[in-house]
Structure 1
Amino acid sequence: MGMTALVAGAADPKLTLGNTDCVKCHTAAPDAIAANGGAHKTQVSCQDCHAGHPPTVKKIIPACSQCHSGKPHYSLSACLRCHNNPHTPKIIKLANNITDECLTCHTQQIVKLKQVKSKHSALACSFCHNTHGKIPQCTQCHKPHSPDMTAVDCKRCHQAHMPTAVTYPSDTANKMCASCHKKAFEMHSKTDTKHKGVNCVTCHKDKHKTIPSCQGCHGVPHPARMMARFTKCGDCHNIAHDLNRWDAGTLKQTGADKDEAIKLPKKSKKK
């Protein structure tokens, strides 16, 4: 009786079917729409898309263009290739090895991938983003530099589409650098110079492996004669993380003779 009434209702314009009629048989679709239906939940009814019911209506699956007209936002031959469940249109599962379609909208990402070559450059977009809008955890593929690092820490220094162009935010903690640069961190922590109170990123700012110019902070701290002889601060201060410590024979290595050699304070020659 129930199905007969539904079919009769579809054929008889005097009878109007509602969502409550459809859910008597079709239980899965309403649950999906209720959870993730988007505009399909709030702005349309079953009858807006499915204009009838077999046998009186044969084509009950509508074309997306029936409502979604205009220029498509992806260069795909069929909307359902990404929106594979029309009842949950915003949950987009991407097929394997998709890249070109993604670039229809996401143009800057490919520019970055080509600008700084890395292993990421050869991967398809859908290798990482198998669901549209999903940002994967870096630790799915990559081991953290140290046990106390989390996936959140990765993105503080590494850009996803330019992972080898490492940059640091100004509030990066020294312990982040210490996870790799253990010797430098230990030396910096024990020094009695003013550098002890300076964060790693104050000197090594902007990007990884930046070697700063000492003059940027210190200007020309020594007499002209001394600076003329030792043109680089590192000629004497060759261990930047502990400026009062240098290797034995530093002056001899620079070529200074007895008349021009600069006598260094005894306390400076500590090991």
Structure 2
Amino acid sequence: MKRITYLVLVIGMIVCATALNGCIHPDDAERASPPDGGAYLNSTNIDCMDCHTVQYFTIKDGSGRHAHLNCTFCHIQHGYQPDCRTCHPDTHGTGIQGCGICHPDPHAPELRINDSHINDSICQPCHLPQYDAIDKGTGRHSKLKCDLCHVQHGYLPSCEDCHGLFHGSDVTECDDCHDPHVPESIEFDYGNNSECARCHHTVIEETFAREHTKHADLSCYMCHPLHAETLMCIDCHPGHSTGMSMRDCRNCHRIGHVPTDILYSPDSAETKSGLCVDCHAKPFNTMYESESEHRYIECVECHPIHDTTIVCEVCHTMGPSHGTECVACHDSAHDTIP
């Protein structure tokens, strides 16, 4: 009797295992090989919903191309999981093998990767130019993670989200000048000054518009071949002396757009006469070689602003014995010895 009972139990277990075959797949079990013909060719997705609800709604609510497919297009036999490369052999090149690294859910491969343990290097194989640009960049974007801006694959944020309208409300197309991955590298139409004016209109208004010089008729790139780069004055203009450097030029010509504005400090402790000698050698030498007391004062004491001269009365008291016309006796203020 016991033998019959055991035999019935064994037969029952075999029947149950056979009935459940295909619904239970241990993780370490080998996936079934695709059969010669499909077992569910006439099935629709709704037939799979009772047991595969999560997958059903993932496909149904998806926005990618998989959302339009029937379950049996990929799963031609229950339990069979195809290789992505069967349909997508070289989507990202032959070097990409592990599709699941970036597309963890094959039912919605268009969805983002949401794994904080995965670093930006997973983006490199498919987005090599962008990855290299960020990796070699020197700006603040080079320190950011890809998904800080691209919170979902394919999503392109607006620069305004983080930076606002940095150059004002009339400049809204940031990518006209900036590569978003390397925004510090500015690219623009070198022959179109109006592009520069969009961001630098204040400088133009305060210089070229205020005083039209020969520089105002040049293209910006003549002096700025690259953004934020300025050529040296002596690249185009010979110095006032052979030993002049760019720093010497900027001592007087502080605004390159309006070089005719000669600016310097009127304080004799800061501006020494040696600064003037390159352009005004003749009056400097006359004063230096004279025996008058003027040789001991700095040029700025009489010329606090370029091309202006204070009147003699500021320093010298006029009296009846000397008269009021200084030049009647003193031919030159640089050599006051009659």
- The size of the alignment, in residue pairs, is 231
Shift of 1:70: 4.3
What are the residue-to-residue correspondences of 1:31-42 with 2, within 5 Å? Answer: 31-42=132-143
SS at match of 1:242: coil
Partner of 1:195: 294
**Larger Rg belongs to:** 2
SS at match of 2:185: coil
Shift of 1:28: 4.8
- Structure 1 gaps, min length 5: 54-59, 246-271
Residue 157 in 1 paired to residue 213 in 2? no
SS at match of 2:194: coil
Contact 1:156 1:168 in 2 (8 A): yes
SS at match of 1:64: coil
Partner of 2:27: none
Residue 235 in 1 paired to residue 334 in 2? no
Residue 91 in 1 paired to residue 185 in 2? yes
Residues in 1 aligned to 2:141 and 2:133: alpha-carbon distance in whole angstroms: 10
Residues in 1 aligned to 2:279 and 2:227: alpha-carbon distance in whole angstroms: 34
Change (3 A) 1:216 1:146: same
Q: Percent identity over the alignment?
A: 29
Change (3 A) 1:240 1:195: same
Residues in 2 aligned to 1:128 and 1:199: alpha-carbon distance in whole angstroms: 34
Change (3 A) 1:3 1:37: farther
Residue 184 in 1 paired to residue 279 in 2? no
TM superposition score normalised by structure 2: 0.58
Higher mean C-alpha displacement, 85-94 vs 133-142? 133-142
Change (3 A) 1:122 1:181: same
Counterpart pick for 1:19 among 120, 136, 144 = 120
Residues in 2 aligned to 1:194 and 1:225: alpha-carbon distance in whole angstroms: 20
Residues in 2 aligned to 1:101 and 1:179: alpha-carbon distance in whole angstroms: 34
Shift of 1:140: 2.8
Contact 1:120 1:161 in 2 (8 A): yes
Contact 1:103 1:110 in 2 (8 A): no
Partner of 1:217: 315
Task: Summarize deviations over 1:197-249 as a string: whole Å, max 9, x none.
Answer: 11122212212x222211111121xx41541xxx321121112211114xxxx
Contact 1:64 1:79 in 2 (8 A): no
| Higher RCO structure (Cα 8 Å, ≥6 apart) | 1
Residues in 2 aligned to 1:7 and 1:52: alpha-carbon distance in whole angstroms: 12
SS at match of 1:224: coil
TM superposition score normalised by structure 1: 0.70
Give the residue type in structure 2 aligned to 1:145: H
Shift of 1:195: 0.9
- Structure 2 gaps, min length 5: 1-95
